[in-house]
Amino acid sequence: MTTDPLSSTFAALADPTRRAILARLAAGPATVKELSAPFAMSGPAVSKHLRVLERAGLIVRGREAQWRPCTLEAAPLKEVAAWAENYRRFWDANYERLDDYLQHLKEREKNHDHGK
């Protein structure tokens, strides 16, 4: 089964530990050891989460065999933000008022044209 990129991203984000790992990496690259400490998790448990994040393209890992520092890759998060923004008019009252105002302008314009 192939998964589309956006579905992979959402699936990777559907876990509070993985989101916390991304938040930690926002402060700079970190090794598995550095990532394990604050989560009171074993190295293998953290590595499992890192594999999910890596497959989703949300992190990249260094090539140095022993350290392999993880770095945040935010490009998929841009897609998430853009996707969610499509629904802004359903939660943003200002946006709704702007919509109403544009509608009002359009109608005034139409009435004005008819009045000519």
* Binding residues vs a copy of itself (CB under 8 A): 4, 6-8, 10-11, 13-16, 19, 22-23, 26, 72, 74-75, 77-78, 80-81, 83-88, 90-91
Nearest approach, Cβ of 11 to a copy of itself (angstroms)?
Answer: 4
Nearer to a copy of itself, 34 or 73 (CB): 73
- b/e sequence 96-116, b meaning 16+ C-beta within 10 Å: eeeeeeeeeeeeeeeeeeeee
Nearer to a copy of itself, 88 or 110 (CB): 88
Which stretches does DSSP call E strand in the chain?
Answer: 59-61, 70-72
Nearer to a copy of itself, 48 or 110 (CB): 48
Nearest approach, Cβ of 55 to a copy of itself (angstroms)?
Answer: 13
Furthest C-alpha separation in the chain: 78
3-state secondary structure of 113: helix
Paired sense of beta strands 70-72 and 59-61, if any: antiparallel
Nearest approach, Cβ of 113 to a copy of itself (angstroms)?
Answer: 28
